[in-house]
Amino acid sequence: MFGFVFGAAVGVAAGLLFAPTSGKETRQKLNEMGKEYSDDLGKQFNEKFDELKGYIKEKTDDAKERVKKAMPEENK
């Protein structure tokens, strides 16, 4: 996924650099695009991180339950 986003960013940036616009306009467009891609990447990171936290919690709870079931009654 990161490769696709990075490739798209490079392609768009190259297109802007070769477009017939002033340097100021080009820099402004690149700045705006950089912010958009940064926001998108941050959002994707947070989503994946939340998924990972949920997965870890699920597996931890499952392991705790298995240990609890495996323990003799007098130790519970």
CB 13 within 8 A of CB 33: yes
Mean pLDDT of 43-60: 96
User: Is pLDDT larger for residue 52 or for residue 12?
Assistant: 52
Q: How confident is the model at residue 48 (pLDDT cuts 50, 70, 90)?
A: very high
Q: What is the pTM of this model?
A: 0.53
Mean pLDDT of 39-62: 95
pLDDT greater than 60 at residue 39: yes
Owning domain of residue 70? 2-75
How many structural domains is the chain composed of?
1
Closest CA to 26 of 17, 34, 35: 17
Residue 30: the pLDDT is 81
CB 12 within 8 A of CB 33: yes
